[in-house]
Amino acid sequence: MTLPRMVTSAVRAYGLSMLARWLLFAVLCGVSSITTGWPAGAQSPVKASTPPVGFDTEPPPADEPNDFDSTCMDEYGRRLCDPRVWRAIVGSLGLKPAEDGLGKDAAELRIFMVDGYSHDLPAMVFSDLRGREPRLDIYTLGWARPSGEPSFTVELGERDAFQAVRLARAATRSPISAAEVDSTPPADADEVSSLVICLHPWTTVIEVIEKTGVTRRIRNGCHTDDLFRLAASFGDRALAYLPECQILEAGRYRGAHGVIDSCATLSGDIATAAQLRMKIDTHDVRSWAGAADPDLPAILADDLKLRLEGRDLSGAEARAALSGFTGTQFTGPVRAASSRDVTLEGEIMRYDPPGADEPAALYAPVTQRWVRQGGDWRLAEMQVGAFAPGGTPNEDKLSAGDRR
């Protein structure tokens, strides 16, 4: 393994917590560049101009394993090439394993995306790409929609259907292992070797389901071939079909995939729900450490009501109780009953016992009701259920057996 690849693999495996050590190492070794493996805004062309007449169906060479790529981990170490781990991820998005679709006459393309912090983003399923009505179904984590139902369904334009076919063809022609396309030319004897550190890369899993089998390729933003860049470009392509989601600002959600993910939670008066969603996602109202601070009422209604595990609290008592919560994650529906009244669902976390060296993280379901007061949104009601260990699949998904 080349030194650049060793450093890149190590940083991907151990994450930002090791950054300081790597930067020191980089200074000693002469790092030429540090990059982030995030999707670029521009599309990267795949060098193929074959008309969309179907996917390649040639089986892989006999010496290639009919399995996932060994370069298969996302940023926090989930083994995407482990069938057990991958089946759980696919199921959490409301989809069945690709192998369940074998034998169908129509081919299907599926694009999965994981951000640089191992959060599963919307999955895109393309069908009937060779037919008259190519379709895109978008699946998000099953917090806001019944499992098995897409959050969005759109009819694809001809150009985007063609690009989907190009990606499918490129995937079936690409080597199984990303290592086969990530080659670093050897340095001359008197040339100083350079290191490239890739931080928090996004990862994609591309599946092409045909009658005869499944082609699966895993790539991330640090890889040098075009599969990742073309797969990532479908975030912007999909968002173009969803005008109701474009109210959310892409810059606040790290791009189109994040916008679509958050948009899937909105219902009722979409414009109002989106407005509050952006406030929640971009202001420091997820942490309640300073809830007893007199400055916090800027986001609290005058008559705040808190129901905590069966107890009804208000005023200073409610604010004191809020200060014991560590953070809030809004993963469920954001329902706007009117332009002045929005309800959010999610979960809240606290550590028990507080202040301990290794406290346990406890989670509880939470519902919040926000209203307009004085020209701004204020938290009027909050109901917190019983706390228990756990958390959402996307936040607490790593067990010791799934790490490297």
Give the pLDDT confidence of 208-232 residue by residue, as tens digits: 999 889 999 999 888 777 899 999 9
Interatomic CA distance for residues 228 and 234, integer angstroms? 10
Full DSSP string of 370-383: EEEETTEEEEEEEE
Backbone angles phi, psi at 284, to 5 degrees: -80, 65
Query: What count of other Cβ atoms lies within 10 Å of the Cβ of residue 272?
Result: 22
Structure confidence at residue 44 (pLDDT): 33
- Per-residue pLDDT reduced to its tens digit, 169-179: 999 998 887 76
Structure confidence at residue 145 (pLDDT): 62
Structure confidence at residue 27 (pLDDT): 43
Mean pLDDT, range 38-47, rounded to an integer: 42
Collapsing DSSP states into helix, strand and coil, what is residue 205? strand
In this prediction, residue 252 has a pLDDT band, given cuts at 50, 70 and 90, of confident
The token pair at 167 is 């990606």
Full-model pTM: 0.74
Full DSSP string of 66-122: SS--SS-B-TT--BTTSHHHHHHHHHHTT---GGGGTT-SS-EEEEEEE-TTS-B--
User: Smallest Cα–Cα separation from 198: which of 11, 3, 404?
Assistant: 11
User: Smallest Cα–Cα separation from 137: which of 150, 128, 147?
Assistant: 150
- Lowest model confidence (mean pLDDT) among 24-38, 55-69, 291-305: 55-69
DSSP annotation of 26: H
Full DSSP string of 126-165: EE-TTSSS-EEEEE--TTSS-TTS-SEEEEPPHHHHHHHH
The token pair at 100 is 């369940």
Q: Which amino acid type is present at position 300?
A: L
Structure confidence at residue 179 (pLDDT): 67
- Per-residue pLDDT reduced to its tens digit, 126-160: 998 888 899 999 999 865 566 678 999 999 999 99
Entry field: residues in the chain:
404
pLDDT surpassing 90 at residue 298 = no
pLDDT surpassing 90 at residue 286 = no
The chain-wide mean pLDDT, for the chain, equals 76
Residue whose entry in the numeric block shows the structure tokens 């540090």: 34
Give all domains of the chain, ordered by start, each with its CATH number: 3-264 (no CATH), 268-389 (3.10.450.50)
DSSP annotation of 42: S
